[in-house]
């Protein structure tokens, strides 16, 4: 459109502009190497190459060529614009990276954006087209076969008799926006009040939302001054929440009053420069010992006493000095076991009764920064980690050799500087401890719309169980939390929150007299909100739904054929 606009804008009084298209003027990009070798010289006097164009300040893929002024006539000099394709990624010619409709075309000169291997693009990545969504075969056998399962059951009778069907909350029920004024960074369900969701954002706001009543929301602005990295509850006192923040503090806040008590301030002398500023990232609660465990961006762990609300231990150096400890997780069965992960590319297992530098029980090496590491929620015997090397890793048993993971699942979860890091999380209700939820970074083309699904992955097989999308949610859903008791998924996507339920639940609601499912689909804003607002109300701006009627769809993708099938069935 731009060239046409320019051509139209040029009147006959200014220099004529010739627009010459690059000769390989194809709408479709072919990823053969010849495409970026045939850099044609287009236009008279075209001596320009990449250097001539400059590395910056070239906003379009056009080249301007000023021909020498014609001194023999009064005709203005001719300007030729050639529409030579310039790749915005490698600045090379003959190909272009970027969206073509709702499909993203990779730069063929770069390694695959998904698996990071050279030689192919994301479009043709074997992990993208694989039936099992890119699972790397386990170096050791696991419990995924029937025979193994029987053996395991003989050894451990607590293993459930039958692996139950996964329940996928895939139908959008509530959406709320402008609840947060910056992107959502963490979510936590209330431990006893089933429909209360707490959320933190980049700005330091903490939201408390009762999604069953829709309008019952409270936002506290004064608990933290910047990124809320974690929210946790002490099960002994569910009226109090703990939050850790990049402002360097850990707060203990009464939910009713919103008045925080600062349990830890790692920057008591205030700002003395970015190099010295400490931020609190990982946090978990050890209920047995009455401890809040937190960790900072200098590789240190601290203990806080929940009763005296003061520091009870630390700092203990648990990751490479000066690197960020991103996550902490206490083992649900043996709370003395602590799992930490950080920017030093490791997840580490510790016995908190014996903490010394280098005393970790196990060190789980990753390809790059580890965003999260969690013990499995029931037995605590498995480990699930998320790394920005685009791999989810699963260790099937912490009682065996931990040298390498049981499985590596290739999954798009790169960190983008504007996004909250992706974290794959267990479904706490799954008795088989295999279902995990995680948002996907790269988009898929769903009927001409680029959408970022929320993936449910069977970590026992690496198989993608379901990809949950909503045609009206076009943002990346980085923060996902499954309810500890209900079949509910909460999603933080950009600055919006969403609640999902299984389709069956929605239908059950519809069957109840006087109750409609659409009551649960509501749009709400700060200024005005509509009680039983239907999805196609005119208050779209507050929800980010772009004037469309919400039709929750489920798509089933055929990976072998590469085609997308619509399906209303259950995955």
* Minimum CB distance to DNA, residue 35 (Å): 15
77 and 69 in contact (C-beta within 8 Å)? yes
Give the Å distances, CA to CA, from 258 to 216, 218, 294, 568. 15, 9, 21, 43
Give the Å distances, CA to CA, from 4 to 9, 17, 19, 81, 99. 8, 11, 9, 11, 20
Q: How many residues at the interface with DNA, by CB under 7 A?
A: 45
Question: What end-to-end distance do the CA atoms of the chain give, in Å?
Answer: 42
Q: Which is nearer to DNA, 130 or 312 (CB)?
A: 130
In angstroms, the CA 395 to CA 115 distance is: 20
Q: Does 388 bind DNA (CB under 7 A)?
A: yes
Region class of 217: left (phi > 0), else alpha (psi between -120 and 50), else beta = beta
Q: For the segment 99-118, give every residue that binds DNA (CB under 7 A).
A: 99, 104, 106-107, 110-113
Q: Which is nearer to DNA, 369 or 384 (CB)?
A: 369
Out of 59, 119, 268, 513, the only residue in the binding site for DNA (CB under 7 A) is 59
- In angstroms and rounded to an integer, the radius of gyration of the C-alpha atoms of the chain is 27
Q: Does 494 bind DNA (CB under 7 A)?
A: yes
In angstroms, the CA 309 to CA 289 distance is: 13
Q: For the segment 283-322, give every residue that binds DNA (CB under 7 A).
A: 297
In angstroms, the CA 23 to CA 343 distance is: 47
Q: For the segment 344-363, give every residue that binds DNA (CB under 7 A).
A: 345
Q: How many residues does the chain have?
A: 571
Q: Does 450 bind DNA (CB under 7 A)?
A: yes
Q: Which is nearer to DNA, 90 or 138 (CB)?
A: 90
Q: Which is nearer to DNA, 42 or 497 (CB)?
A: 497
Out of 496, 498, 535, 555, the only residue in the binding site for DNA (CB under 7 A) is 496
Interface characters, 497-536, with DNA (x: CB under 7 A): ----------------------------------------
Q: Which is nearer to DNA, 393 or 495 (CB)?
A: 495
* Minimum CB distance to DNA, residue 153 (Å): 40
Residue 83: HSE in the Cβ half-sphere, 13 Å Cα cutoff: 16
Q: Does 124 bind DNA (CB under 7 A)?
A: no
What kind and span of H or E run contains 466? Answer: strand 463-468
Q: Does 476 bind DNA (CB under 7 A)?
A: yes
Q: Does 122 bind DNA (CB under 7 A)?
A: yes
Q: Report which of 161, 154, 246 is spatially closest to residue 201, judged by C-alpha positions.
A: 246
> Token pair of 352, please?
């908190």
In angstroms, the CA 105 to CA 351 distance is: 47
Of 167-175, 501-509, 510-518, 538-546, which segment contacts DNA by CB under 7 A? 538-546
Out of 6, 153, 368, 463, the only residue in the binding site for DNA (CB under 7 A) is 368
541 and 175 in contact (C-beta within 8 Å)? no
Q: Does 418 bind DNA (CB under 7 A)?
A: yes
* Minimum CB distance to DNA, residue 52 (Å): 17
> Strand 79-83 to strand 17-21: parallel, antiparallel, or no bridges (unpaired)?
parallel
Q: Is 6 helix (H, G, I), strand (E, B) or coil?
A: helix
In angstroms, the CA 93 to CA 39 distance is: 6
Q: Does 390 bind DNA (CB under 7 A)?
A: no
> Token pair of 537, please?
């109300």
Q: For the segment 209-268, give every residue that binds DNA (CB under 7 A).
A: none
Out of 93, 121, 244, 459, the only residue in the binding site for DNA (CB under 7 A) is 121
Out of 93, 474, 491, 550, the only residue in the binding site for DNA (CB under 7 A) is 474
In angstroms, the CA 86 to CA 416 distance is: 23
Residues within the interface to DNA (CB under 7 A): 56, 59, 88-89, 97-99, 104, 106-107, 110-113, 121-122, 178, 274, 297, 323-324, 343, 345, 368-369, 388, 412, 416-419, 441-443, 450, 452, 474-476, 494-496, 541, 544, 546
């Amino acid at each position: 459109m731009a060239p046409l606009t320019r051509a139209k804008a040029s009147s006959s009084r200014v220099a004529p502009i010739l627009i010459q298209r690059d000769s390989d003027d194809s709408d479709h990009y072919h990823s053969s190497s010849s495409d970026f070798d045939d850099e044609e010289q287009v236009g008279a006097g075209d001596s320009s190459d990449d250097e001539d164009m400059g590395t910056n300040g070239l906003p379009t893929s056009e080249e301007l060529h000023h021909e020498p002024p014609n001194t023999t006539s009064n005709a203005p000099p001719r300007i030729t614009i050639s529409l030579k394709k310039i790749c915005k990624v490698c600045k090379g010619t003959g190909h272009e990276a970027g969206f073509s409709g709702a499909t993203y075309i990779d730069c063929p000169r770069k390694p695959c954006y998904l698996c990071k291997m050279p030689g192919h693009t994301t479009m043709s990545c074997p992990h993208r087209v694989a039936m099992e969504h890119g699972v790397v075969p386990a170096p050791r056998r696991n419990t995924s076969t029937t025979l193994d399962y029987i053996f395991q059951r003989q050894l451990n009778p607590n293993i459930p008799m039958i692996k139950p069907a996964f329940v996928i909350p895939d139908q959008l029920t509530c959406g709320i926006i402008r609840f947060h004024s910056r992107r959502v960074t963490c979510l936590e369900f209330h431990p006893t009040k089933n429909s209360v969701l707490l959320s933190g954002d980049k700005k330091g706001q903490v939201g408390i939302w009762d999604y069953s009543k829709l309008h019952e929301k409270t936002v506290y602005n004064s608990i933290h001054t910047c990124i809320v990295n974690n929210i946790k509850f002490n099960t002994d006192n569910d009226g109090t929440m703990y939050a850790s923040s990049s402002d360097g503090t850990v707060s203990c806040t009464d939910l009713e009053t919103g008045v925080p008590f600062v349990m830890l301030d790692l920057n008591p002398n205030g700002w003395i420069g970015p190099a010295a500023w400490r931020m609190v990232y990982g946090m978990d609660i050890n209920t047995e010992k009455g401890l809040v465990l937190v960790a900072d961006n200098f590789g240190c762990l601290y203990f806080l006493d929940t009763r005296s609300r003061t520091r009870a231990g630390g700092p203990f150096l648990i990751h490479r000095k000066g690197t960020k400890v991103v996550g902490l997780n206490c083992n649900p069965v043996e709370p003395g076991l602590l799992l930490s992960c950080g920017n030093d590319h490791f997840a580490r297992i510790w016995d908190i009764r014996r903490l010394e530098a280098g005393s970790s029980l196990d060190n789980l090496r990753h390809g790059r920064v580890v965003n999260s590491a969690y013990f499995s929620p029931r037995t605590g015997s498995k480990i699930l980690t998320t790394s920005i090397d685009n791999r989810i890793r699963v260790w099937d048993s912490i009682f065996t050799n931990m040298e390498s993971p049981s499985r590596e699942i290739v999954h798009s979860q790169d960190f983008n500087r504007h996004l909250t890091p992706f974290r794959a999380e267990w479904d706490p209700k799954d008795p088989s401890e295999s279902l995990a939820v995680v948002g996907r970074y790269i988009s898929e083309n769903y009927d001409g719309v680029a959408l970022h699904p929320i993936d449910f992955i069977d970590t026992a097989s690496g198989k993608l169980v379901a990809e949950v999308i909503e045609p009206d949610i076009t943002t990346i859903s980085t923060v996902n939390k499954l309810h500890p008791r209900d079949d509910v998924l909460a999603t933080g996507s950009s600055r919006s929150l969403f609640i999902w339920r299984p389709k069956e639940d929605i239908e059950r609601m519809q069957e109840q007299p006087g109750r409609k499912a659409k009551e649960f689909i509501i749009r709400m804003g700060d200024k005005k909100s509509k009680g039983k607002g239907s999805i196609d109300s005119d208050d779209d701006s507050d929800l980010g739904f772009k004037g469309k009627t919400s039709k929750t769809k489920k798509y089933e993708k055929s990976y072998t054929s590469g085609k997308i099938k619509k399906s209303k069935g259950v995955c």
